[in-house]
Amino acid sequence: MNNLINSKDNFNKSNNDDFIEFEIKKVSNEVVMIHFILKRELEPEDLKKISPPDPIKNNFSDKTIILSGRGPIWLYGFLIHYYHPVKAISIFDPRYNAAIIIESHFKKYKIGDIIKTNLKGEDK
């Protein structure tokens, strides 16, 4: 079963093509993973051009998200701020093969909770 819930073409990535690629993967009915792959080393001014997958247009605004990918801490800060409206945000940690909740508007999850995944570390 393909866990990709939306084609990569379903969101605006035209500004991203030369330096970052995003994938949206369904983990469960309540959780999606936003995985990014950097195509080159990012510069801080690249933040002005990044267009992450829109949670409303891609139908995951009512879900908990897992952010995954190798990138600078300031990119994670940008993505956490961008996805603030979703139910909860977590960060994938390959040491645990799980995601750690870092922000939540959802009673089911508290900061520090762990979401176990069946995914084999997205960071390659």
Q: How far is CA 22 from CA 35, 39, 52, 85, 108, in A?
A: 6, 11, 7, 19, 27
Q: Say what the alpha-carbon torsion angle 76, 1, 61, 33 is, to the nearest 10 degrees.
A: -10
Task: State residue 15's pLDDT score.
Answer: 55
Bridge partners, 21 (sequence order): 37
Task: State residue 123's pLDDT score.
Answer: 47
Task: State residue 7's pLDDT score.
Answer: 39
Task: State residue 40's pLDDT score.
Answer: 95
At 76 the three-state DSSP class reads helix
Q: For residue range 4-60, what is the model confidence (pLDDT) as tens digits?
A: 444 343 444 445 778 999 999 999 999 999 999 999 999 999 999 999 999 999 999
